Amino acid sequence: MRVVLASDPEGSALKDDIAAYLEEQGHEVADEGEQADCVDAALKVAHAVLDDPASRGIVVDGYGAGSYMAASKVKGMICAEISDERSAYMTRQHNNAKVICLGAQIVGPGLAKSIAREFLAADYDGGRHQIRVDMLDKMA
């Protein structure tokens, strides 16, 4: 799977750890690099993922919140701020999230890799969840 990554300066090292891990796992990594601000990083990833609907995205900043807020403003983007594996899996499965945002001050490299693995392992269930996804799509 193609995974688009970007970070602000505070999340750069963790982004690089995740990118290396995903490449080891056989994923195609599109690294948008370190951006000056979490908003810039989130927008780069959100737009790249919307341009390639089969891809997923991961943004890393200090706490994950800034990236999440920025990506959520992009029309058609569903993302989540994540700090555990189960939420990473479920937000993809039930919410059709295409991007997750992580905080380098919240999760370490081991947990971040597990979060990325679970996010990419999940498929969107659709069905009864589509009502929620349609509601989210209308909001932004």
DSSP category for residue 55 = -
CB 29 within 8 A of CB 23: yes
pTM exceeds 0.85 for this model: yes
Residues 101, 91 contacting (CB under 8 angstroms): no
6 or 132: which leads in pLDDT = 6
How far is the CA of 62 from the CAs of 34, 39, 49, 140, in angstroms? 13, 12, 22, 24
Asked if residue 29 lies in contact with residue 71, where contact means CB atoms within 8 angstroms, the answer is no
Residue 6 confidence (pLDDT): 98
pLDDT exceeds 80 at position 52: yes
Nearest to 52 by CA among 99, 92, 100: 99
- Domains in the chain (CATH in brackets) are 2-138 (3.40.1400.10)
Under 8 Å between Cβ of 102 and 85: no
Q: Are 44 and 6 in contact (CB under 8 A)?
A: yes
